[in-house]
Structure 1
């Protein structure tokens, strides 16, 4: 039986900034619109965190049962390492996805935005079929697109909508920035696993692009959100606060462009999450101040 520590490792805590960042930006937009609802923000955070942990366990189960995780160099895989039974990991995935669904349903009932039920169903299906099912889209180079959509526009604008109604164009612009930074975390992960994914037949975007182009893509995903801050500042100068995250991005970009690989990319993955979190926090403050000052 897996230990508590192993279950925590299997939840991939380095990816949790992907859940927190969009809720920060969406709530910042709601504060700027003068209509923040703390309870709704907390429920949105619970949805996001549950979905991230759920998809991580789902990936562990699906990749492990396919044999994709046999030669991984990253964090512990519960199924691939034999630390936990596949059925237990699958149950954990369903449990977290169920918790996220319950929080989402509560949010829909509170706000009476019934159309969001369809969005919730899409999120759950997207989480499972990323690596699950007969033809997982994560094995066809579409993982980054899904991460951009679900952890960018869907999560950011959904968080803003349940608090303050239709979001502003600035919120839409910032949602794109969050989505790109969220993709940088996945690209760092898939860059690390190019060799093992190629051997196992998992055709991620990194496998399709190759090592050099994947490194260039990673750099672009970190830099473009900073350009988003500059563009947004034309209309809302407070969005320049997002540039405070730039120093945090220098080290991981240099390391990736410098050719680090293997286990060294685990630190880059964590640093990528911190860049996203810092940019999102600063941008959230900027959006809030834009409406309040």
Structure 2
């Protein structure tokens, strides 16, 4: 299908990239699972956390589409999915406006979470929005200087999972509009659980960067794949997978968790089949499906891990 045949509605969906929403849902599932285990589950804060995370994800997608185009990072040689700004499907000013409106909606939806979680959530929320823009925009785009992996690991993994747990626990254990971090609202278990989501979320970016390595090198986008080569990125992918599957084992060794926390291990054969592609391919024909499959792996791992955490004390 040529770009002329794509409807405006289809173009906006392409810009929003709903297929990336597992990256927003996964940390919520894990944060909710651990909160259920610890007896601090709260439905409304968890739902609000998902809405905020989804809006930040979509806003970041709009930002990537817009800034990659205006900075010349998207060329005709791109092997990834069609970008609407570079492809001329939507006027750049409209994509930029959509980006700001989506981030504004995220801030608005986060007002309830600020009421529940206080100053810590206000700080984290604003940093998440700023970082979403700074990923490909601003004077020092993170993704252009090899910091994209760190950004994804922290904000779509560690911050998202621990933040989801925190707002639930704070709604149960603390008074509204707290200034500090109340006792019991941010346990070490939440941080460790976040590492599994952080690792697979980062691998989505690793596949993207391996696929785009040659184009990124010509347009000045210095991702880790460009800086250190294919071998480094493949080792990174393997290391992130290892981390994702070691985290459930760590929980099994913890008192109060049963074998159910090992449920994510049933996805290991699927993960290894994706890794085989990442280790042997460089073109979009093979890596575009691998990118989608890594997103599916994230969703499956998070569902099973969240379930295992929630009910790991029973079996």
State the partner residue of 2:174.
none
> Residues 187, 112 of structure 1: CA spacing in aligned structure 2 closer, same or farther, 3 A cutoff?
closer
In structure 2, the residue corresponding to 1:78 is in which secondary structure? coil
State the partner residue of 2:263.
241
**Aligned counterpart for 1:216 among listed residues 225, 230, 235:** 235
State the partner residue of 1:176.
195
State the partner residue of 2:180.
none
Q: Does 1:200 align with 2:222?
A: no
Where do 1:14-33 residues align within 5 Å?
14-33=19-38
Q: Does 1:153 align with 2:175?
A: no
Deviation at 1:171, TM superposition (A): 2.2
Q: Aligned residues, how many? A: 292
**Aligned counterpart for 2:291 among listed residues 256, 269, 279:** 269
> Residues 90, 2 of structure 1: CA spacing in aligned structure 2 closer, same or farther, 3 A cutoff?
farther
Q: Distance in 1 between matches of 2:86 and 2:130?
A: 23
Deviation at 1:178, TM superposition (A): 0.7
> Residues 183, 8 of structure 1: CA spacing in aligned structure 2 closer, same or farther, 3 A cutoff?
same
Give the superposed CA RMSD.
1.6
Deviations 1:190-225 (A, max 9, x none): 111101100000001111121122122112222321
State the partner residue of 2:120.
115
TM-score w.r.t. the length of structure 2 is 0.89
Q: Distance in 2 between matches of 1:292 and 1:150?
A: 31
Q: Distance in 2 between matches of 1:192 and 1:285?
A: 33
State the partner residue of 1:284.
306
| Contact 1:19/1:49 (<8 A) preserved | yes
**Aligned counterpart for 2:140 among listed residues 131, 135, 140:** 135
Q: Runs of 5+ in structure 1 lacking a partner? A: none
Answer with 1 or 2: which has the greater Rg. Answer: 2
Q: Distance in 2 between matches of 1:19 and 1:245?
A: 20
Deviation at 1:115, TM superposition (A): 2.7
Deviations 1:63-106 (A, max 9, x none): 10011101311111111111111100001111111111111112
State the partner residue of 1:43.
48
Deviations 1:12-41 (A, max 9, x none): 223211101000001111111112111111
State the partner residue of 1:61.
66
